[in-house]
Homo-oligomer: A and B are copies of this chain.
């Protein structure tokens, strides 16, 4: 089951938090939208609407059978369809993502790391040279590319990833990539995130 087409992105953005809470943090048999809202510090009306979209109305008074809600959230995020990603640029940020242990929770695996230099990696993994990117992506059914190279290299890498068949790009370089319309790009610009936090939380 894949309900992503029917669920707006604004709602999808909240589902991983709901799933993490009902799967790992709660041990109850039933979980209500009020309990989820309280735990995640969100509005109860919003949570109720979101969960209704994913899992129907729940039972009066008690809410959802927790294990069923877990299944429905997992289905909405389609986490049981394995997704393979390749990371390009093994600097500090690239290594931090390679060693991050949170992606497996959502069925995503960074199966390879590309760099112009061979660098030591934990767990016996090897750095792939850029010349082998295309073949690696096709051999390993890679559908996501993660760009952690400097700004000046990001567009070149994006072009190579698109040529290698990826469908989505997670871009950490502070640049706007030009890609074909059928490629989904998500920019993760750490400096700009922090700049907005500074002006809303400290400077403002």
Contacts and interface: CB of A to CB of B under 8 A. Distances in A.
Interface of A: 2, 4-5, 9, 12-13, 15-17, 20, 39-41, 76-79, 81, 83, 85, 91-93, 95-97, 99-100, 102-103, 105-108, 143-144, 167-168, 170, 174, 176, 178, 183-184, 186, 188-204
Contacts of A170: 193-194, 197
Contact of A106 (B41, B78, B93, B191): B191
Given A96-B95, A197-B168, A16 B103 contact: no
A107 B91 CA distance: 23
B191 A102 contact: yes
A100 B144 contact: no
Given A186-B193, A196-B9, A96 B92 contact: yes
A162 to B, nearest CB: 12
Contacts of A76: 199
Given A20-B174, A176-B39, A203-B2, A198 B144 contact: yes
A204 B102 contact: no
Contacts of A178: 41
Given A144-B197, A170-B197, A176-B39, A2 B191 contact: no
Given A83-B198, A92-B100, 15 more contacts: A4-B203, A12-B199, A13-B196, A16-B195, A77-B198, A78-B198, A78-B199, A100-B190, A102-B192, A103-B195, A106-B195, A108-B191, A108-B194, A168-B198, A168-B200
Given A9-B200, A143-B202, A16 B83 contact: no
Nearest to A178: B41
Contacts of A9: 196, 200
Given A93-B100, A202-B167, A203-B2, A191 B16 contact: yes
A95 to B, nearest CB: 5
B191 A186 contact: no
